[in-house]
């Protein structure tokens, strides 16, 4: 049975990418979220760069409750897009308290998108997560696309279910697994860096794990890769992540150094701690580093190491 989450609404944006036909229009689901806003910005930049006479035409904002199958069907029917990037999801923390809602958004939604894509011959790029792993720490070099998902949370479980459901319905579709993201969240405090700077702005000391490992990526780079992939024909699963495995503490220190360039201030404001020191739930995977060898072969978008990523995320364009 589907769970109604009709109080959750979001914006959708249909961008006419300098073309009068529908072939180059991209529908972004979850356009108002942390990642979705960067995808829309990247699509806009691409449209302006490619159009001889810029004809960027953002549609009136489309809204729908994606947990409601009728509203989703209506949205897809009324949309003239032939390609879609799905950034909509139930966020990690919310899933543990409401697994039914998590399944609706993270599993049933991608299945419905796959059925639509197969029926209409449309292109779908769906965003998933490194947290489909976590039961065991990543092997040397990181998890590869063919490794079997083994999540530890309802979030990871439902995201893994969404990957399977989408690709069963439409094998030509694409699943892009992303790692921990950081960068500008346009004042919403989302993502690893704005979360850290929010803590510091409140005058608190940040405690960051020395024993939790990720391959973090600037959100703007993730958006560029998604836009590149929606234009292409690659199918199946792809790991798009930073090229360096780092601890949460190393990430925080690199971001702090880039923003403030003051090691003494960093010592005052950030301290390392072990995961056992903080009794956090849901269960936190120790190491979900992703192997990006396939992505590096396929993408023109460069996947940065930590120093390059901090620069990309924090330096003004
Ligand atoms: N952030 C990360 O570090 C990270 C890491 C790995 C993978 N990912 C993946 O990246 C994708 C985007 O994540 P994010 O960080 O951008 O999340 P986010 O900021 O929470 O954005 C999720 C979007 O989904 C929308 N949404 C949720 N429920 C909805 C509903 N019932 N109807 C319509 N829209 C709904 C939200 O709208 P409202 O804002 O209106 O609720 C929001 O626009 C997800 O697939 C996530 O699993 C994120």
pLDDT digits (tens, 9 = 90+) for 242-263: 999 999 999 999 999 999 999 9
The confidence score (pLDDT) of residue 69 equals 95
Q: Above 80 in pLDDT, residue 310?
A: yes
- What are the residue boundaries of the structural domains of the chain, listed by start? 10-182+217-245+284-305
- Answer yes or no: is the C-beta of 36 below 6 A from any ligand 1 atom: yes
Give the architecture-level CATH label for domain 10-182+217-245+284-305.
3-Layer(aba) Sandwich (3.40)
Average pLDDT over residues 118-137: 97
The confidence score (pLDDT) of residue 247 equals 98
The confidence score (pLDDT) of residue 1 equals 28
Q: Which residues contact 217 (CB under 8 A, 6 or more apart)?
A: 178, 179, 180, 181, 182, 240, 241, 242, 303, 304, 309
The confidence score (pLDDT) of residue 2 equals 30
Highest mean pLDDT among 46-60, 68-82, 291-305: 291-305
Q: Above 60 in pLDDT, residue 193?
A: yes
- Answer yes or no: is the C-beta of 186 below 6 A from any ligand 1 atom: no
- Could you tell me if 120 and 136 are in contact, meaning their C-beta atoms sit under 8 angstroms apart? no
Cα separation, 215 vs 242, in Å, equals 5
Mutation choice for ligand 1 from 6, 40, 64, 88, CB with most ligand atoms inside 8 A:
88
- Could you tell me if 249 and 209 are in contact, meaning their C-beta atoms sit under 8 angstroms apart? yes
Mutation choice for ligand 1 from 7, 9, 10, CB with most ligand atoms inside 8 A:
10
Q: What is the distance in A from the centroid of ligand 1 to the CA of 33? A: 5
Structure tokens at 253: 């220190």
Nearest CA to ligand 1 atom 11: 87
Q: Would you say the C-alpha torsion 103, 118, 13, 125 has a positive or negative sign?
A: positive
Cα separation, 106 vs 81, in Å, equals 22
- Answer yes or no: is the C-beta of 109 below 6 A from any ligand 1 atom: no
Confidence of residue 20 (pLDDT cuts 50, 70, 90): very low
Cα separation, 125 vs 236, in Å, equals 10
Confidence of residue 9 (pLDDT cuts 50, 70, 90): very low
Q: Above 80 in pLDDT, residue 7?
A: no
Confidence of residue 18 (pLDDT cuts 50, 70, 90): very low
Residues 34-70: tens digit of each pLDDT: 999 999 999 888 877 776 554 444 555 668 899 999 9
Cα separation, 317 vs 313, in Å, equals 9
Mutation choice for ligand 1 from 30, 66, 177, CB with most ligand atoms inside 8 A:
30
Cα separation, 147 vs 134, in Å, equals 12
The confidence score (pLDDT) of residue 135 equals 96
Q: If 0-12 CB within 10 Å is exposed, 13-18 middle and 19+ buried, where does residue 276 land?
A: exposed
Percent of the chain with pLDDT over 70: 88
Going by C-alpha positions, the residue among 152, 153, 155 that lies closest to residue 136 is 152
Q: Above 70 in pLDDT, residue 96?
A: yes
Average pLDDT over residues 113-120: 96
Lookup result for tokens 């409401």: 98
């Amino acid at each position: 049975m589907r769970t109604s989450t009709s109080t959750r609404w979001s914006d959708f944006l249909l961008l006419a990418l300098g073309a009068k036909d529908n072939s180059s229009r991209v529908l972004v689901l979850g356009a108002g979220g942390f990642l979705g806003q960067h995808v829309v910005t990247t699509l806009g930049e691409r449209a302006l760069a490619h159009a001889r006479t810029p004809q960027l035409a953002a549609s009136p904002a489309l809204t729908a409750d994606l947990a409601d199958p009728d509203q989703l069907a209506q949205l897809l029917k009324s949309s003239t897009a032939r390609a879609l990037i799905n950034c909509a999801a139930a966020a990690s923390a919310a899933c543990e308290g409401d697994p039914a809602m998590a399944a609706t958004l993270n599993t049933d939604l991608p299945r419905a998108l796959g059925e639509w894509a197969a029926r209409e011959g449309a292109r779908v790029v769906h965003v998933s997560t490194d947290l489909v792993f976590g039961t065991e720490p990543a092997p040397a070099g990181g998890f590869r696309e063919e490794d079997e998902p083994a999540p530890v949370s309802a979030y990871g479980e439902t995201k893994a279910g969404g990957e399977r459901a989408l690709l069963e319905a439409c094998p030509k579709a694409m699943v892009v697994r992303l790692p921990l993201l950081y960068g500008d969240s346009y004042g919403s405090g989302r993502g690893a860096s704005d979360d850290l700077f929010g803590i510091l702005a409140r005058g608190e000391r940040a405690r960051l794990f020395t024993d939790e490992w990720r391959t973090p990526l600037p959100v703007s780079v993730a958006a560029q890769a998604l836009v590149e992939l929606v234009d292409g024909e690659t199918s199946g699963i792809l790991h798009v992540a930073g090229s360096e495995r780092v601890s949460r503490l190393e990430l925080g220190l690199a971001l702090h150094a880039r923003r403030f360039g003051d090691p003494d201030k960093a010592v005052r404001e950030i301290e390392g701690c072990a995961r056992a020191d903080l009794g956090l739930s849901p269960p936190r995977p120790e190491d979900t580093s992703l192997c990006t060898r396939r992505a590096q072969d396929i993408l023109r978008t460069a996947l940065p190491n930590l120093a390059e990523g901090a620069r990309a995320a924090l330096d003004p364009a």
